[in-house]
């Protein structure tokens, strides 16, 4: 028998564990669900840790690709289902005009994300049905700000 193996049997040295592929897979899977990204809306102050910022969240299993870079987290209110990629929440993204980070309540997505301030400033550039959404969003934002 080899001397190192005898030392392991005697308890003199600990046996080194060989990394298995299954352990790496489990570790990567858990790593995906770890909240590492800080999100903070610059208009209302909503602050939350989330799992991902970008267009291709790893936990949606290549079922979805966002057209903008956004902050995404796994929905904490639903059980995790590995087969489905629909248990997520989009917290917000960056305004395309002024580049501030805004939540979905303080912004409008119409081909690109716009904060309520930039949407109001450029309201005439949007179609009529979107203009009415901007007016509602601005009213809601004004009420929230006055509290």
Give DSSP secondary structure letters for 48-61.
EEESEEES--GGGT
Distance set, CA 45 to CA 10, 114, 115, 124, 132 (Å) = 60, 17, 13, 28, 25
Half-sphere exposure of 143 (CA within 13 A, CB side): 7
Q: Which of these ranges, 17-21, 79-83, 139-143, has the smallest mean pLDDT?
A: 17-21
Quote the number of domains for the chain.
Answer: 1
Average of per-residue pLDDT across 123-128: 94
Phi-psi region of 60 (alpha: psi -120 to 50; beta: other; left: phi over 0): alpha
Asked if residue 7 is part of any domain, the answer here is no
Asked if residue 125 is part of any domain, the answer here is yes
List, for residues 30-87, the tens digit of each pLDDT value. 566 788 899 999 999 999 999 999 998 887 777 788 999 999 998 888 876 655 667 8
- 130 pLDDT higher than 60: yes
42-76 burial string, b = 16+ CB within 10 Å, else e?
Answer: bbbebebebbbbeeebbbbeeeeeeeeebbbbbee
For residues 104 and 82, the model is more confident at 104
DSSP state of 119: H
Which range marks the domain in which residue 137 is found?
Answer: 33-146
Asked if residue 109 is part of any domain, the answer here is yes
Asked if residue 37 is part of any domain, the answer here is yes
Asked if residue 20 is part of any domain, the answer here is no
Asked if residue 52 is part of any domain, the answer here is yes
Residue 28 pLDDT level (bands cut at 50, 70, 90): low
Q: For strands 70-74 and 52-54, give the pairing.
A: antiparallel
pLDDT of 18 reads 47
Asked if residue 12 is part of any domain, the answer here is no
Asked if residue 3 is part of any domain, the answer here is no
pLDDT of 30 reads 58
- 20 pLDDT higher than 60: no
């Amino acid at each position: 028998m080899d001397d190192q193996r005898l030392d392991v049997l005697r308890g003199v040295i600990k046996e080194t564990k060989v990394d298995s592929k299954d352990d790496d897979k489990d570790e990567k899977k858990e790593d995906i669900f770890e909240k590492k990204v800080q999100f903070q809306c610059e208009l209302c102050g909503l602050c939350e840790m989330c799992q991902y910022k970008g267009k291709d969240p790893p936990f949606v299993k290549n079922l979805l690709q966002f057209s903008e870079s956004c902050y995404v987290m796994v929905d904490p209110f639903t059980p995790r289902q590995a087969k489905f990629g629909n248990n997520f929440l989009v917290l917000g993204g960056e305004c395309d005009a002024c580049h501030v980070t805004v939540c979905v309540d303080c912004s409008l997505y119409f081909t690109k994300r716009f904060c309520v301030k930039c949407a109001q400033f450029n309201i005439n550039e949007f179609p009529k049905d979107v203009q009415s959404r901007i007016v509602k969003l601005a009213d809601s934002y004004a009420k929230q700000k006055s509290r």
